[in-house]
Structure 1
Amino acid sequence: MPRQFDGSRVRAVRRGKDLHQKELAEKVGVSAPTVARWESGQDFPKGEKLPAIAAALDQPLDLLFPYDGPPDLQLLRCDAGFSVAQAAAIIGTSRVPVSNAESGRRRLSDVYVQPLAQAYGVTEQELLDAQDCSFGLRPRASRDQQSSAPHTVGEKINYLLEYGYVGQEAPSDKEIARLVNEHAGVEAVTADDIAALRTGATTEASDLVRAGLAHALQVDAALLQDDAQLDPKAREFMEMLRFLTSIHRGQILGLAARGNSKGLSAEMMAHINGLVGELKYKLPEAHSGE
């Protein structure tokens, strides 16, 4: 995912360092009017400029320009300070292989992995992991903690409660327990049991309870099975819920899609949801309470 850029924060840090816009511009290699547009929110720097800006302001890159989730190929390139053209020059090709890999269209040829990893200052495995992220694939186990995808039945309950009730009140633990018991025909759970699942105090739930939860939350029972990775249909459903909630909350202002008669894929939905997470930092209301 791209890093989050806040022009007003850059301005505050610059002023705190007693730097003029012209001085920052000279350090970064741009004009003073360009810095002014960045700070006013009229424009945004290219990702490969962010390391130079952070260095000029003597700030940690991750602190000044944070990002969510594991890095993809674009982030690795930008953090190394390279444009697409410069990265392509490293491997002696046109821009096409680099652009295709970053946009999830075609993977890098094996012969490009080692020189790019070396140029980006990462291991070959880290580059391949980043490429997986660019293609919308789930991060490997070593980075699972950075993934927001729900795994346990409790995490999935929380996800559905947060994103599955757009414009209406989500059911309480007591109401969920009632619906589960109604479906089961016996008193299978209590409100405290539901709360324990949601908080992670317990991760165990019988098939009877899971079926009842699916009835209560109006989803397919398969969605509430514990798994390391959601199957494609389940993942698409979860991403669609989050996407629709983002629209309802005003985090997505418009969307246009073309060239796909079957609708957006789960990978594309995940990518759009990630962009929504980035966009919220740029919306005026996101800073109104600060």
Structure 2
Amino acid sequence: MSARRFDAQRLLLARREEGLKQSDVARVVGVSAARVSAWETGRSLPDPEKLPRLAEAVGRDLDVLFPREGHPDLADLRADAGYSQVATRELTGTRTQGPVAAAENGQRRLAKEYEQGLADAYGVTVEALRRAQERSFGHAVPEPDEPAPTDVAPGGVTMLPTTIAGKITYLLEQLPGPLSDAEVAVRGNSRAGAQVLSEELVRGLRTGAVTDASDEVLGALADALDTTPLVFRSGDPGVQRVIAETLVLRNQVAAIAARGGEEEGLSAELLAFINKEVAKARAETAPHRDHPTSG
């Protein structure tokens, strides 16, 4: 959980800078002045859902006054919207806060029927809600627009991200041109010879809203992204390192070929050899698909 950091001194200084009394802040937040005093002196901590109103009361941005490192999980989204866990009963239309509590504790995911209502109340999209939910279950899910996390192995070799979402983002960046989720789906289905991918499924896997998939889906996805299914299926660091090195080599060869090759000291014959070996290595590492036989 990436809870916001509460700093009593920062709150105290912000209130004084605005010329406010503790009773003024208390009135906005809906607590007693004594409670505000306890927060400012560090005798107690405010509940996370009180922080948005506190920031509002002293005229400060929530992210500036109470910063958070990392991405929010479900409990963080709820708190940032100013809801207590008990208050979510009205959002889900249930008698208890059980559905939300179970999801926040990583015990049971939210039913689809609750997602839109909670997303609207929290001021986020359903996809953002699902990403936050996966974090509540212990999965490190990146935001769609952030760079894919990578590690550097000994020798300075870039390693692949560890999550499916991170790998998809990384692989998309290695392609010569951008591909939309719909284009990835069409390309994967065409190469797999079957309707395996959909735009919604690709988007879910890319954003981290969907964190697992069948071998068939991952195989089609690998085909669409010009790589081997081992990129998704193998957790062996050695295999991942080889794949990362191959991607780097492939991009270097493509860049040289685009410039004609000769100016880099590479003959057309050598370029043809490199391309052939890379293609052969990819074919040898790809698993054989079983096809139905006649008779």
Q: Which residue does the alignment assign to 1:152?
A: 152
Deviation string for 1:58-110 (max 9, x for gaps)? 11100000001111111111111111111122111211111111111111111
Task: Judge conservation of contact 2:148–2:161 (CA < 8 Å) in 1.
Answer: no
**Change in CA separation of 1:47 and 1:146 when aligned onto 2, cut-off 3 Å:** farther
Contact 1:25 1:35 in 2 (8 A): yes
Return the match for 1:139 from 130, 138, 141: 141
Tell me: CA distance 1:89–1:30, structure 2 relative to 1, closer, same or farther (3 Å). same
Is the alpha carbon distance of 1:132 and 1:143 closer, same or farther for their aligned partners in structure 2, counting shifts above 3 Å?
A: farther
Task: Select which of 106, 109, 125 maps to 1:123.
Answer: 125
Distance in 1 between the 2:145 and 2:107 partners? Answer: 23
Structural mapping, 1:36-185, within 5 Å = 36-93=37-94, 94-140=96-142, 142=144, 144-145=146-147, 151-153=151-153
Residue equivalent to 2:16: 15
Rate the CA distance shift 1:107–1:12 in 2: closer, same or farther, 3 A.
Answer: same
Deviations 1:25-61 (A, max 9, x none): 1111100110011011111111111110111111110
Identity percentage of aligned residues: 40
**CA pair 110-39 structure 1, distance change in 2 beyond 3 A:** same
Aligned residue type for 1:54: A
Distance in 2 between the 1:58 and 1:141 partners?
28
Superposed, which structure 2 residues align to 1:221-236 within 5 Å? 226-229=159-162
Please give the alpha-carbon distance, in whole angstroms, between the structure 1 residues aligned to 2:148 and 2:75: 18
Counterpart amino acid of residue 114 in structure 1: Q
Q: In structure 2, what residue type is equivalent to 1:87?
A: T
Mapped to 1, the partners of 2:136 and 2:143 lie a distance apart of 17
Q: In the alignment, is the contact (CA less than 8 A) between 1:48 and 1:81 conserved in 2?
A: yes
Gaps in structure 2 of 5+ consecutive residues: 165-295
Matches within 5 A, 1:129-278: 129-140=131-142, 142=144, 144-145=146-147, 151-153=151-153, 197=156, 203=157, 226-229=159-162
| Cα drift, residue 141 of structure 1 | 6.0
C-alpha distance in 2 between matches for 1:73 and 1:146: 22
Contact kept, 8 Å, 1:70 with 1:146, in 2: the verdict is no
Q: Partners in 1 of 2:62 and 2:136 — Cα distance?
A: 21
- 1:5, CA displacement in angstroms? 0.3
CA 1:141–1:66: 2 relative to 1, 3 Å:
closer
Work out the CA distance in 1 between the residues paired with 2:25 and 2:161.
47
Q: Distance in 1 between matches of 2:142 and 2:68?
A: 18
1: CA distance, partners of 2:127 / 2:134: 10
Structure index of larger Rg: 2
Is contact 1:69-1:146 (8 Å) kept? no
The answer on whether the counterparts of 1:4 and 1:67 sit within 8 Å (CA) in structure 2 is yes
Q: Helix, strand or coil: the match of 1:85?
A: coil
Structure 1 segments unaligned to the other structure (5+ residues):
155-193, 198-202, 205-225, 232-290
Report the 3-state secondary structure (helix = DSSP H, G, I; strand = E; otherwise coil) of the residue aligned with 2:124. coil
Q: Which amino acid aligns with 1:151?
A: D
RCO comparison, higher one (Cα < 8 Å, 6+): 1
Question: How far, CA to CA, are the matches of 1:135 and 1:123 in structure 2?
Answer: 19
CA deviation after TM superposition for structure 1 residue 22, in Å: 1.1
Q: How far apart are the structure 1 equivalents of 2:160 and 2:148?
A: 17
Runs of 4+ in 1 over 6 A off after TM superposition: none
Query: How far did 1:152 drift?
Result: 2.4
1:156-186 CA distances to partner (integer Å, 9 max, x unpaired)? xxxxxxxxxxxxxxxxxxxxxxxxxxxxxxx
1 CA distance for matches of 2:25 and 2:148?
Answer: 33
Match of 2:35 in 1: 34
CA distance in 2 between counterparts of 1:49 and 1:139 reads 26
